[in-house]
Amino acid sequence: MAAGRVGRPARKKANPLHQRGLTTVDWKDTTLLRTFVSDRGKIRSRRVAGLTGQQQRQVASAIKTAREMALLPYTSTAR
């Protein structure tokens, strides 16, 4: 017997960019980018965010650009 889920089959996670009708990610859209950044300031993984590989690369690049332009913080807490 396989060590997997028992019961109903796993449902695929909804893509947040497709839900909003977006094809490209803009680094100036900070409200969208904040959904892909954890409370500690880390970029969420593709599997957690529910993105495709190409979208994840676009989001990561947009977050890094927004951080350089001081639209997003590198970390949220001061240590």
pLDDT tens digits, residue range 27-49? 999 999 999 999 999 999 999 99
Q: What number of other Cβ atoms are within 10 A of residue 27's Cβ?
A: 20
The SS3 call for residue 16 is: helix
Name the pTM for this structure.
0.82
> Which pLDDT value is given to residue 7?
78
Q: How many angstroms separate the CA atoms of 64 and 41, rounded? A: 11
pLDDT range class, residue 20, cuts 50, 70, 90: very high
* Residue with more model confidence, 53 or 11: 53
> Which pLDDT value is given to residue 6?
74
